[in-house]
């Protein structure tokens, strides 16, 4: 199988993934703007919902790490006579509070009331959107994931532009390989790649519904119950969410570290079931058989929704119990 273009090139930029991904995104937006000068503004509008229809595109530039003096070098700048937008890019490191404040202050200092200002925070899908690195950022602010950015450039790109379409597709391959986009989980069969995809999807759903999981848990030395999962918190209870490697198609929510889950009567309209806890006597777990909800027939986004809904429904029942 032929290796994806940007995946192969990235080997020459070791430990530079953030810069590499930012540069690719900038180059694609620049190419799109040659076909349509409004493309950078359309990109921002689709990502944020802000209306930029009346903004001047005069002297519009899209730059990678443009110096803004003492405030630093933002990863991506989209500047024109009518807008100043900065995108702070993160792949796996997430400590950006000081940088975001510096960029927000720069936007406030350098922009008059007629110039639109916008600060974007672009991260992997495992950073909760409601937990910005700093509160009360003094300019319009939006936290976005790489999947959202990719979807927008894919939608903007004309199918007639063969070269840019190819670059966008290869960029998608790079984001998948770096696990910055959730990949569809195919029929598991215990293959390592599919197990990793399911693992990532569970973590994403926990982040979305419960906040950042406290830590990952995994044991393949336990011959009876080798498992992979995450710890999360529902109300005041710590819960474990994951699966056994011998039955990866069954998702389990169980008590963690001596916590117990009460006996819950599942609502009639759900597929998940109550069973005896794997770890604690006189306790219970909740499990969902992915085969019973046709999980493997869905695309990646639908699969993530199924897992998120499962966690949300169980969370609500535990909180009521």
The pLDDT of residue 2: 67
Between CA 76 and CA 66 the distance in angstroms is 7
Between CA 22 and CA 16 the distance in angstroms is 10
HSE-CB for 114 with a 13 A CA cutoff: 6
Sign of CA dihedral 276, 278, 281, 286: negative
The pLDDT of residue 213: 74
Predicted structure pTM score: 0.82
Between CA 77 and CA 107 the distance in angstroms is 11
The pLDDT of residue 288: 93
Q: What is the DSSP letter of 283?
A: -
Between CA 206 and CA 94 the distance in angstroms is 18
> How many Cβ atoms sit within 10 Å of the Cβ of residue 284?
18
Do 83 and 116 contact (CB within 8 A), yes or no? yes
Alpha helices in 115-161 (DSSP H): 146-156
* Residue that is written with structure tokens 């300019």 in the block: 139
**pLDDT beneath 70: ranges in the chain:** 1-2, 10, 13-14, 94-97, 110-113, 130-135, 189-190, 214-215, 218-224, 257-258, 282
The pLDDT of residue 111: 60
Q: Rg (Cα) of the chain, in Å, rounded?
A: 22
Q: What is the pLDDT of residues 241-300, one digit of tens each?
A: 999 888 889 999 888 766 777 788 777 778 888 888 877 776 788 899 999 999 999 988
Coil, strand or helix at 244 = strand
């Amino acid at each position: 199988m032929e290796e994806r273009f940007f995946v192969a090139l990235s080997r020459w930029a070791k430990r530079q993934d953030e810069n590499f991904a930012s540069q690719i995104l900038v180059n694609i937006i620049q190419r799109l703007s040659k076909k349509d000068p409004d493309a950078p503004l359309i990109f921002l509008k689709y990502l944020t919902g802000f209306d930029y229809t009346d903004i001047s595109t005069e002297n519009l530039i899209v730059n990678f790490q443009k110096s803004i003096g003492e405030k630093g070098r933002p990863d991506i700048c989209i500047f024109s006579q009518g807008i100043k937008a900065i995108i702070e890019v993160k792949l796996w490191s997430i400590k950006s509070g000081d940088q975001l404040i510096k960029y927000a202050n720069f936007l406030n200092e350098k922009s008059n009331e007629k110039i639109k200002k916008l600060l974007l925070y672009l991260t992997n899908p495992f950073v909760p959107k409601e937990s910005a690195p700093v509160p009360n950022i003094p300019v319009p602010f939006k936290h976005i994931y790489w999947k959202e950015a990719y979807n927008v450039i894919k939608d903007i790109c004309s199918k007639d532009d063969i070269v840019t379409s190819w670059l966008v597709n290869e960029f998608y391959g790079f984001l998948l390989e770096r696990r910055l986009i959730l990949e569809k989980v195919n029929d598991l069969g215990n293959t390592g790649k599919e197990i990793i995809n399911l693992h990532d999807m569970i973590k994403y759903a926990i982040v979305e519904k419960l906040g950042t999981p406290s830590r990952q848990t995994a044991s393949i030395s336990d011959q009876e119950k080798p498992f992979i999962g995450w710890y999360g918190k529902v109300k005041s209870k710590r819960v474990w969410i994951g699966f056994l490697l011998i039955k990866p198609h069954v998702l389990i929510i169980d008590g963690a570290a001596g916590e117990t889950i009460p006996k819950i009567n599942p609502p009639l309209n759900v597929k998940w079931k109550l069973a005896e806890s794997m770890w604690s006597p006189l306790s219970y777990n909740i499990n969902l058989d992915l085969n019973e909800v046709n999980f493997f027939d869905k695309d990646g986004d639908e699969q993530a929704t199924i897992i998120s809904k499962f966690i949300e429904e169980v969370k609500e029942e535990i909180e009521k119990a």
